Structure 1
């Protein structure tokens, strides 16, 4: 790359000739002016400026703003507002104000502001002085560089806890005496047999039973079968009797169950038709004779006991974040539910809570050095990666200004540059040398890659895909972007992750994306990030600004980064002249074989002075 230096020196030498020649011409002009002193009045007689000066007018519109020495002043508000809204300068100022983010106010320490304030402070000196020859004047100018960096954004996610009324059935055993009157008995005849039935009003276990009989008409030693037992009833007219029914142990009935019994006279042998049983049947139907059933039952009672049950809904793993606060989103009140026709009411101070979790903290990332530099301001910020609807990484563009000094002279109100530094500043090419050498270095590096491969599928600036685990908030984060030199609290990170962290510190990486590496029941338990790691800053710059931004070839996804090299055909389509190599300038100044701008210009200046000395008579 050294073979390019003579060309660069020659170009710089050409730039330095102009200010030196300008000084000689000015001195000659001064001598000529002194010789012609006093001839000014005659020289302008007959001069018609409208014929010589394009666009000349004797009454410019601005003259209306001057009211004379006795005027109290002219209202400039209206014309000023008009100029602000219609002129190009006014539109530029307005757009700058509207487009500047509210949290990125320029620092008063920034060189371009500090310089402006300095000019304001010495305005009288600048505008009120007269010319008395050439005066030495230091010159300051601003070198502007643009940098891009990545930083993690602050992400808050929410879980909800919702209260609902539910309950449980509570069972207890009670003993009840159940009486079924005659009116609830039903009677019929089945041949010579009397048939009777009754409906049980509730469920339970029958502990004991008895049948009370009143004989409106005598019962002739009647034998009956009822509730799985047999017993005899023998009563004369007008007589009552209670007959114990020996109920089998564990005899259970259900609510609405029908119990049926039957029997006939003559100890179950039945009297002929028309006698006995038929007569008893008719007496029972008329109510002259009655049956009354008494049951002692063990009844299981159930009671519904209401309670409040909480359910939680989290779209993420709570282990991933730290809870920072809770807010009631459904205020307290009394709510009622109805179970089997019965209403139950419960009061709750809050029926639904929303819990806030910080799942990703805001970090400086690779933007730390620019955030701390008062001469750097944010010019643009945009989301670099969206995951599940959240912007997890933000790409920020900073404009950084560096104040530099030069030497010159003010002669007759005009500044003449004496060295190359301020000359470059006047032409807006203060980084001309660094930009040119960076582009040449990038081309040379690409050539070395291509020459070393000697294959069919030739690629330059090939990178390597690497991944890191993104730990929970409050724990080690193996994807952190800075501070890896200390290795504090990073014992759980692998050696590959530590190497990736140090590559970030050296600005050798391109962030590709974040993805979920472990998911259970739809909830992500572990996340990872993917990167492309390159051997040099030049390779990373060309890959980002060339392959991605110029050719539109992306780096794949976080799970499978595409870090392939750039083909020869793609290299030929790249415009290295428009790439921003500002991140590489520090490496340039650190290299011993590449001189700094001032050293190169000083050398060129000495060569020119020596040649002019040799050429003098």
Structure 2
């Protein structure tokens, strides 16, 4: 109970203290609010000269500042005047002229080291200094170069059909039968001709007869015979037959004769024949087989092949195309005209043939410091690559000889610019960009209305067809007889490829037969120089994605100014241009450069000494 009473008393006391603090805070806040602006009001209404000794609103130093565009108020000359009149300035001048000069000990170490370095400078350059070591410094640089070449090509052979023919002998056989009943013998006629006979050769002759021998009464006058085909055929028996000799030649229109006779060779057997006919005393039949040979001209088609290459080297076929449609043609032989039909009169047979071409890669292929780092096929036929783009990585090693002295390398060979470790100076890139701008400026100067830079020319070359040479090859110009049929544009493309100034656009049909393309052509954009081709190819096509058109409609236009501004030249590989740059630069030899330096020094000395 006592503890509870004590707690209540403490709580009441605490509340009383809190009320007092709150009242004090409120009174202070009210006082501050009423006087918060008195200080600033007093400061703004006070005159500085009344409270700051020596105050002036326009000090003399303000004349030294004339504003951003003004002068310095001649502060330099006034400062120099103050230095000569002011006591402090006089003291400084007096001490500089009257104080004794500082004495340098000639035996001091830094003096002796300098003299030794001067005296031994020759040993640094000639390599005899014992504190220096001879060093050979090498630096290798790897750069990428691009080129392209043919690896295979399509060649064609022409198969041409010609109407020819030959003579053939055809044999026909005819059988004729001559019956004695049709021969009109009478008492006045001893020989009867039958005909005409067909033309040919008698291959078989059979004579058969019947004779009523009993009516002859053994009288020789009554025994009968007949002569035909040069043979006498007797009829002395009741019947009989004869096989006559073959080989007798008969001509068309000839007649066959039958001559009468008898065994007694009577002068006038006609009555006997007549009596024999009347009573049917005899009857004979001659059966002849005649063979005729006719000579006939038969037409056919003879095919001849013409190839401008060794067909045995082909690695694959690439199809056959009819380039001369079929129809009927004629040929005249011995004054007679014959006709022959064919589905096609000429075919073009395509073959894929390896080609030993270096394209424009010859220099890179011959350089033992260059290796192929990438290949891509840019044209193919039937799944076989015809043309490829190659990337070569070439290593260039720069070396110099010098002395390493206390960590400092001194070059002696004079070719240290490539081995100083500073890296690529960007000179080549800068020159390439400047050359690009200069070339663009040439185009602008020529046409200030339609301003475009690096304009190219569209040229075409024909591909192989029916024995026609492939005029799109990148090698063999000048040493292949087949290329003699190529025109000047095609030859220009071949030379432009070697100079790396072409861009392949695509293919189109050059010749159609009945709606079928029988010869293709390739379209190229040819530019004035390698630099134009690089910027067009890597800038326009690869960066801006503006195509060069199609084989039917190539677009070799120049690059407009806005397009040129959109190209990032830092992303363009100018290595192909660098090689030309280095090959064409004119650097004088060392003797010439030394003489030029001597001449310049002599001229300067003469100018300073008045020519004495």
Give the TM-score taking structure 2 as reference length: 0.41
Which one has the largest radius of gyration?
A: 2
Give the TM-score taking structure 1 as reference length: 0.41
